[in-house]
Amino acid sequence: MPVLNKNILYKEYITKRKTIQEIADRVGCSYTYIRNGLLKYNIKIRKHTELFNGEDNPSYNENALYKQIKYCKCGRKITPYSDNCYSCANMLKYKKYPYLKKSGKNNPAYIDGRSYLPYPIEFNKDLKIKIKQRDNYTCQNCEMIEEEHIIVIGYGLTIHHIDYSKQNCEEDNLITLCNWCNLRANYNRDYWESYYKEKIKWPLYLPI
């Protein structure tokens, strides 16, 4: 087994920045032998991620986009991948979609506070499963199935009250929707109420 002193290891590993395996191949010994030598002489072993940082990375480019300095219209320094700072981006978002900033009675989707009412005891797990079975575990608007919904959203399909009354848990007032279609139904409620009432009459999947 070759004898390696501290100066050789330091020169090869720290100065020339060779990997442990490269040193081992050149000397003709094992990876473990070189690593034990570094530990013996208290030479700090680099983490794997440090091997490809900065100029050591084969994709390194001193003119890369992330090195460029960019400023928002308001004067704040921003990432070169953005067009606006966080504050200005929010301002533009609320200007385009003003209802996002409004809550409670100021929101156009607000009716009479009924969304704050608790669900009745009849609206239980058994009823939800029954409605989902009736609708073949499929969103009755976009046709997303329950398995896909669990993968994308993290939980099962939702049950929507067609007339927006939580107290009305009749089966013909309940319909299976995905999370997005359920949220969309909170706007232009007259349209969606009429639409889903017709959908109950003509479901995607008729019972056999």
Residue 25 has pLDDT above 60, yes or no: yes
Q: How high is the pLDDT of residue 130?
A: 94
70-103, pLDDT tens digit by residue?
A: 888 888 887 776 788 878 887 777 676 665 555 5
User: In this structure, are residues 135 and 176 in contact, taking their beta carbons and an 8 Å threshold?
Assistant: yes
121-134, pLDDT tens digit by residue?
A: 999 999 999 999 99
Q: CA separation (Å) from 176 to 11, 100, 146, 184, 206?
A: 68, 26, 10, 14, 14
User: In this structure, are residues 200 and 172 in contact, taking their beta carbons and an 8 Å threshold?
Assistant: yes
Q: What is the dihedral of CA 67, 68, 72, 74, to 10 degrees?
A: 90
Hey, where are the domains in the chain?
A: 6-56, 119-201
Q: How high is the pLDDT of residue 129?
A: 94
